[in-house]
Amino acid sequence: MAEDVEPRRLLVIRFGPWGASVLDDTRFWRCIRPRPVSLLLQSVVAASTRALKDCRFPEESEGFDQARGNADRSGEGSPTKAHMSLSDDRTGLLLPLTVGGATIFCTILIHAIATIGIIHLVRSARVRGIAGVHFSVDVVLVSAAAFIAFGAHFIETVVWAVVFVLCGEFVHFAPALYHSATNYTTLGYGDIILSAPWRLLGPLEAADGMLLFGLSTAILFAVIQRFVQLRFDTEQL
């Protein structure tokens, strides 16, 4: 007659690289063989860890900044990070603030001229009696106002690019315009970084772009609102 086996109480579980060991109330370690799925997952994790350790990104390679630091300014090759380090303590303050403030004033003046042009466009359409009468005419007028605003933004981006070239940050105009567009639209790729003395121009242009984009949005909203009022005869000019 077989004797009844008293169930053992599990005390400790210890996991290892190839399985697990348990310590029950008999104080003996017993090895538990892992399932094939566990072995597969462990091998995948181990292989991924080894692959990540063996990887070396271009930014970590020796001489990366020294070899490709001037590619942005010369326009040769793909845009990469500039040779200046972000931790450089030579970041300019007074000079970039002065140049950036003057550039912001010029861009605001350009946008003011574009705003006046949009106002004259809407007023002229109202005087001729074509605004708020036909839907197709209103679409054309709103599109024209949007194109005027977009043209002003493009000119302002070009102005900032010219400033970058005049400051000596770029040799060719194309990479300067690309960098200006990423700053102005607050896209912020970060693949090109200005040198330390002029690095403050980046956030100044981004703030300028946000301000002028908000102004364009307000103008277009006012134009659409005026057309709606004229269409339903709720308000006269």
Tokens of 11: 């005390």
Candidates 162, 224, 201, 223; CA nearest to 82 is 201
- Taking only the tens place, the pLDDT of each residue in 50-97 is 655 554 444 444 444 444 444 444 455 444 334 444 445 577 789 999
Q: Cα separation of 33 and 36, whole Å?
A: 9
- How many other C-beta atoms are found inside a 10 Å radius of the C-beta of residue 26? 10
Tokens of 175: 């990479």
The pLDDT of residue 126: 87
Q: Mean pLDDT per segment of 10 residues, for the chain of length 237 residues?
A: 50 52 51 52 59 48 44 46 48 89 97 96 88 86 96 97 95 95 92 91 95 96 89 59
Q: Which residues, in sequence order, are bridge partners of residue 12?
A: 23
Q: Cα separation of 138 and 183, whole Å?
A: 33
In order of their start, the domains of the chain are: 10-55 (no CATH), 94-231 (1.10.287)
Residues 6+ apart with CB under 8 A from 39: 18
